[in-house]
Amino acid sequence: MTFRFTPLPIPGLVLIEPTVVEDPRGWFVETYKMSEFARAGIALPFVQDNHSRSGRGVLRGLHYQKRAHAQGKLIWIVAGDVFDVAVDIRRSSPTFGTWVSTTLSASNRRILYVPPGFAHGFYVLSDSADVCYKATAEYAPDFERGIAWNDPKLGITWPGVAPVISPRDADLPHLRDADNDF
C-alpha cells in the first residue's frame, strides 16, 4: 500500500491520502505505516490512540499541550464529516497565528498530520462524527492548554454560526494571552 503526502501551506502540516483497495466485499485501507511516514518526514513515534464521537454542530478545540508534553497528531474520520483546523502557535514561525482548514470525512478517507507546535480543533458537519487520532505524546492534563475558537485575530471562518462548545472550551483565552511555550 502507498500513501500520498501533500504538504499544506504552513510547514509541518501534511494532508495524507491513503490507497484504498475495494472489491465486492468492501474496502481496506492502511491508516498508518511507520516506514512510509518516516520517509515522508513524519518520524515521531505515536504513543496514544484516541477516539471521540460528537454530534452535528459540536466544536472541539482549539487544543494543544505545552512543549514538555507536546503532541503531534495523526487525525482521520471513521464516520461522518468534520471541518478540521490547525493553528500555528510557534512564536518564532513566520506563519505564527496562521491557520489551515480541511474537510476530513469517512468518505474522502483523508488523514491530517498536525505536528507539535499547533493548536487543533474541529467542527462536526454531519449528524455525528467519529474522530480518531494517534498522538506522539500521552495526554498530560497539567500541560493541556487551548485557544479560543473565535479569537478575532485568528479570523477562522468556521462553518457553523452557533457551535456546541464545552464550558472549558468556551473559556479559552485568545492566542495573545495563551499559556504557550512554543
Q: Tell me, yes or no, if 63 is annotated catalytic.
A: yes
Residue 76 domain-assigned (yes or no): yes
Residue 16 domain-assigned (yes or no): no
Active-site entry in 64, 113, 123, 133: 133
Enumerate the H helices of 11-112 as residue ranges: 34-39
Residue 155 domain-assigned (yes or no): yes
**What is the pLDDT at residue 123?**
98
Active-site entry in 63, 69, 113, 123: 63
Residue 32 domain-assigned (yes or no): no
Strand ranges in 25-169 using DSSP code E only, listed in sequence order: 26-29, 48-55, 59-65, 73-79, 81-88, 99-105, 111-114, 118-124, 128-135, 144-146
State pTM to two decimals.
0.96
Q: Tell me, yes or no, if 69 is annotated catalytic.
A: no
Measured between alpha carbons, how far is 122 from 58 in angstroms, rounded to an integer? 8
- Grid look-up 475495494 returns 22
Whether residue 9 has pLDDT greater than 80: yes
**What is the pLDDT at residue 1?**
67
- The number of domains in the chain is 1
pLDDT tens for 65-118 read: 999 999 999 999 999 999 999 999 999 999 999 999 999 999 999 999 999 999
pLDDT tens for 142-156 read: 999 999 999 999 999
Residue 11 domain-assigned (yes or no): no
Preceding omega of 62 cis (within 30 degrees of 0): yes
Domain containing residue 54: 46-105+115-177
Residue 34 domain-assigned (yes or no): no
**What is the pLDDT at residue 160?**
79
Residue 82 domain-assigned (yes or no): yes
pLDDT tens for 10-65 read: 999 999 999 999 999 999 999 999 999 999 999 999 999 999 999 999 999 999 99
Residue 37 domain-assigned (yes or no): no
CATH label of the domain that carries residue 142:
2.60.120.10
